[in-house]
Amino acid sequence: MYRFYINNIDDDYHFMELARVFLPDDGFETIAYSGKPVAHLLGTDSYFVNEKGSNDREEVKREFYELLSGITGMRPPWGTLTGVRPLKPALEICKESSVSDMERIMTERYLMSSRKASLLADIADYQLSHVTGIPWEKASMYIGIPFCPTRCAYCSFASNVAPAEEHGIYLENLLKEVSYAGRLAGENGTQLESIYIGGGTPTTLDSLQLEMLINRVSGAFGIDPYSLEFTVEAGRPDTITKEKLETLKRLGITRISINPQSMKDKTLKLIGRDHKADDIRKGFHIARETGFEVINADLIAGLPEEDADDFESSLREIIYLGAENITIHTLSVKRGSRLRESDPAYFRHNTETVSTMLDLSREMLSSAGYRPYYIYRQKHQIGALENVGWCLPGKHSIYNIRIMEDKQTVIGLGAGAVGKVYHPGEDRLERIANVSNYKIYSERFDEMISRKDEYYK
């Protein structure tokens, strides 16, 4: 057990998160400390950090990173950055400096690799060139459909395998919540910039249910789906039918997600999916026939038993199928997932292979004309790496960008939805979460409805 006494700090949280990148959770302890090192504290495998008592947290984190690197021989490429949104500090620097200066400053301030800094520079350049508007002048909306055909081995989202009759009961309450939220939005003059129906897998609903939901959203919020970015996840190809996609298109939905995760049949079976790669190809074909303007596809780097050649093959095919928007995820092994239960340290394996996959994705997507446009990180990702959204120029998702900016109110409806109220004067977000279990959502529905009032205090 390593013990790290961090001098002159009030809270050891950021240092604990940094240590977790290098060491297992049960392999270290970080301790906020104030004063001079005491000899009896510093036994075997105990270290005193920031002996000079610096008040600069980033300086102390750099010292701690170098210490951890010396102990483990590792140099994680994101340096001292441990947060979900690495682009935020980069864009703050861009307000005062050029993108190229930002790239240099990020490597010096956070000890990140030049390759990661250049990735941030590419994303910042895209957003500064393509994204307009003041984010907090409008809101976005997320609607959760917490059902899937099966549960993936890595999944910890609020998704459930449930019979069709449960879908109907859930939808009945969700429609009421949409109506209530729409009335409040109208009374308060709230305008929507984007709507995202996610899950789970929204296309587990049948075509009539999808029509009911979208018509209710359009009526309650007084919007024409063609007039804003409106996305519906059709992530699992085994839920896609021509009738459902034709219904969505007729109602004004122009963007959908079809999320392969892999195009290797053996992998799909290993992770708990009941479809094959050919079903993904058929889903794309139906979507193209139906005329959707933007299709997003997700791939995951680091899935069980996949190597770099498997990943490259999957990505090559998704590019060939013509997805306008491709998100490359690094596998995150969350608490509550089957993969985490079978191997709690899974995310500490295969870092080199996954790094190679991410490098391949950058080379292949750049060569195919895609641009990186948003980025985020999660806990328990292999190698403490990242997720990057790529798009053909102009085909980005404003919803994805705004969610990562954290400067816009998000109205969250349905089980598992986490809404946020942004207070621009304080640059502060207030979370308003619905319960994640769809049965508890229905049991406590009056409470879920009343929580909508909190958006307009």
- The fraction of the chain above a pLDDT of 70, given in percent, is 94
Q: Does domain 135-443 have CATH number 3.20.20.140?
A: no
pLDDT of residue 455: 95
pLDDT of residue 39: 63
Label residue 235 by pLDDT band (50, 70, 90).
confident
Residue 334 has pLDDT above 80, yes or no: no
Residue 298 has pLDDT above 90, yes or no: yes
Task: Report whether 347 contacts 300 (CB < 8 A).
Answer: no
Residue 227 has pLDDT above 90, yes or no: yes
State how far Cα 411 lies from the chain centre: 17
| Torsional sign, CA 388, 391, 394, 396 | negative
Residues 19-50 have pLDDT tens digits of 999 999 899 999 998 877 766 567 788 999 99
**Closest listed residue to residue 194, CA positions, set 414, 402, 422:** 402
pLDDT of residue 164: 80
pLDDT of residue 152: 74
Longest dimension (CA), the chain: 74
Give every CB contact of residue 130 below 8 A, 6+ residues apart in sequence: 373, 393, 394, 396
Q: List the domain boundaries for the chain.
A: 1-75, 135-443
Number of Cβ within a 10 Å radius of residue 20: 17
Pair of tokens at residue 374: 């948003």
More confident site: 160 or 312:
312
- pTM listed for this prediction: 0.94
Task: Report whether 264 contacts 306 (CB < 8 A).
Answer: yes
State how far Cα 445 lies from the chain centre: 27
More confident site: 155 or 364:
364
Label residue 349 by pLDDT band (50, 70, 90).
confident
